[in-house]
Structure 1
Amino acid sequence: MALSTLKDRVRAATTEPPAVDATVQSLAEDTAGPVPAQLHASAQAEGDDVADKALTWLEQYGEDFTKALPSHIDVKAFLSAVRAALPGLVRCTPASLRQALLTCARFGLLPDGRHAVIKREGKLAVFVPMAQGYVELMYRSGRVGSVHVGMIHENDEWNYEPTAPAPLDFTHKPRVDLSKKERGKPILAYAFCWMASGARSQVIILSREDAEEIRDEYSSAYQRAKASGANDSFWHTDFDAMWRKSPLRRLHKVVPMSAELVALLKADDAGDAGEVQIVHAPAEETYLLAEADEAHEQAEESQDPQDARVWTLPRKRSQPRRTTRKSRKGSRR
């Protein structure tokens, strides 16, 4: 019987492994527990060979990936990007690896390190959207004309005057004529959008201290890595990339979001918290879009730059809203 939603396909993928060769079959047989020890030893001994076998195994789910991916991304291009990441993921449980990859496919993002990353946490594979992934989904909404995100370095020319009218309130001239060392260290990360209507959004600016506060207060992945002594979360290994992504995430307060982008924020938060990253079926898109519209309406009521740190992400109700709207407290970041 045909599977009507991606949730059904994910469930089927994690409970009905196809028949493959002996090494890969051992990977598929235990979808709930750890990857077998013999696979770990094989991965260390064979390296890329095991990754090739794992890719062959994943190709058995090609139809699921084809259904999940948007039409502009070919499944072969997607699996090609997956191939490069597989050597570091063979220790993950098969169920979590399939789910992370299907979630990545659902959002139409390549796991290439720029748009998204599939990261191993213990024995679980986790989908992590990167800054370029957020930018890609903003463009797809059709409401955003251009997205600008950047880092201001110590010797760059810049000005921020929040009381001035846009676009005079913020300017940044990177000193591209200087070497990286001469430009100095990054001091601020920022993001803003020009809308399709010609209006410009509020500029979201975060200092390093702001980013550290976000990391310390909201990132469960950072806290887990710190407590274990592994220090391998993205906040540990690529702080600047996470710093740069943070103002993009906060743009949802001042920019109309698509249902898909709201879902991406929730999946990102769930992955950081170590929770299941829910893949929304198409039937839920209308409800998510209504949630996104409500968030934007609330944002338009206050454009005071002093409120930039106070922002909310709607939480899903137990039942879809029909005729009334109620304000709710928001998400973590």
Structure 2
Amino acid sequence: MTENTVSNAVAVRDNGPEALVRQHRDDLTLVLPTHVKGETWMRLATGALRRDENLRRTATRNPGSLMNALLECARLGHEPGTEAYYLVPFGNEVQGIEGYRGIIERIYRAGEVKAVKAEVVYENDHFRYHPGMDRPEHEPDYFSDRGRIVGAYAYGVFQDGSTSKVVVINRAYIDKIKKESKGSDRASSPWVKWEEGMVLKTVARRLEPWVPTAVEWRTEPVQAETHALPLPTGDGPAALTAGEPGTEDEEDEGPIEGEFVDDEPSQQWPAAAAPGSGARA
């Protein structure tokens, strides 16, 4: 490496988006929950920028969008550039996208839920559920052609063994969310490349109103095992900084066709976890 190359590298390091992140270290780490170590978080933030040149270029052009994404990541208590929270270059801005693993992690942090079940349903799976059932019947045959994705479901199991509201979404709802997401018809879209992960995120988002969540660990941070289908590996989300961008956070617009919403959230929670109890963030 020549002296010129070294000088250029140092200049980029000292004047690029990494320098901006370091400059605002106090602002970013101030909003971190106590379970997240500030030094580790900062290293992950700058590391994400170094790993992805496209992300770095976008952050250089629009540093404000980078700071907004990082602030939201810190507020939620996630580590940037991980499967819990992705930093995604999209057009001329950096978008911060909470992955389905991040949503499920926030559910566990509240301490009221001991297990989360989130599954994608394919057309050749056996699936049966109606609002009178405690939990869905789902029997996939992993060794045969399962067909296309037709829906998904999610629920939480509280510490006392009771089941939260079961959220079920159908293909019409999935297509609605996909259509509302920017660039979802592009070949590079995560909706095209990693549809299963995007569907899991969508159904996990719909579960949020029915279980307590928290940005900070309320109990000993024991990571309970999730039963969600794993994200693809290799060329999938785990291998890319922009792995599973949701493009847009799905807003809770209330009951729609294809979703069971027969009860109120407060009726589904144990008394200790009901709204106003302090268990929900």
Q: Which TM bucket (shorter chain)? A: 0.5 to 0.7
Kindly indicate whether the alpha-carbon contact (under 8 Å) linking 1:24 and 1:57 is maintained by their aligned counterparts in 2. Answer: no
Question: 5+ unaligned residues in a row in structure 2: which ranges?
Answer: 1-9, 217-246, 265-281
Q: Cα RMSD (Å) of the superposition?
A: 3.8
User: What SS is found at the alignment partner of 1:73?
Assistant: coil
Q: Structure 1 CA distance, aligned partners of 2:56 and 2:109?
A: 33
Instruction: Provide, for residues 144-203 of structure 1, a one-character-per-residue CA deviation record: whole Å limited to 9, x for no partner.
Output: 2321111234554x4313154314xx1224445x3xx65554443221111234321232
CA distance in 2, matches of 1:100, 1:76: 18
Deviations 1:208-253 (A, max 9, x none): 343112222x33x24xx65xxx654433443322211111111234
Deviation at 1:59, TM superposition (A): 2.7
1:58 partnered with 2:24: no
1:109 and 2:98 matched = no
Give the one of 44, 55, 77 matched to 1:81. 44
Q: Is the 8 A contact 2:170 2:258 kept in 1?
A: no
2:248 to 272, 275, 281: 272
In structure 2, what residue type is equivalent to 1:172? H
Q: Which runs of structure 2 are paired with 1:171-186 in the superposition (5 Å)?
A: 171-175=137-141, 178=143, 182-186=145-149
Higher relative contact order, structure no. (Cα contacts within 8 Å, ≥ 6 residues apart): 2
Mapping of residues 187-266 of structure 1, within 5 Å: 187-216=150-179, 218-219=180-181, 221-222=182-183, 232-253=188-209, 255-258=210-213
Equivalent residue, structure 2, for 1:132: 101
Q: Which amino acid is 2:134 matched to? A: A
Give yes or no for contact 1:208–1:243 (8 Å, CA) kept in 2: no
Residues 187, 256 of structure 1: alpha-carbon distance in 2 compared, 3 angstrom cutoff: closer
* Identity, % of aligned positions: 25
Larger Rg: 1
- Aligned residue identity for 1:137: R
Number of the residue aligned with 1:72: 35
Question: Aligned-pair distance for 1:108?
Answer: 0.8
Q: TM-score, normalised by structure 2?
A: 0.62
| CA distance 1:90–1:311, shift in 2 (3 Å) | farther
Distance 1:235 1:306, change over 3 A: closer
Q: How is 1:147-162 mapped onto 2 (pairs within 5 angstroms)?
A: 147-154=116-123, 156=125, 158-162=126-130
Q: Which range moved further: 90-99 or 233-242?
A: 233-242
Structure 1 unaligned segments of length 5 or more: list them: 1-20, 29-53, 262-270, 274-294, 313-333
Partners of 1:195 and 1:26 in 2: CA distance: 49
Q: Does 2:131 align with 1:142?
A: no
Secondary structure in 2 aligned to 1:91?
helix
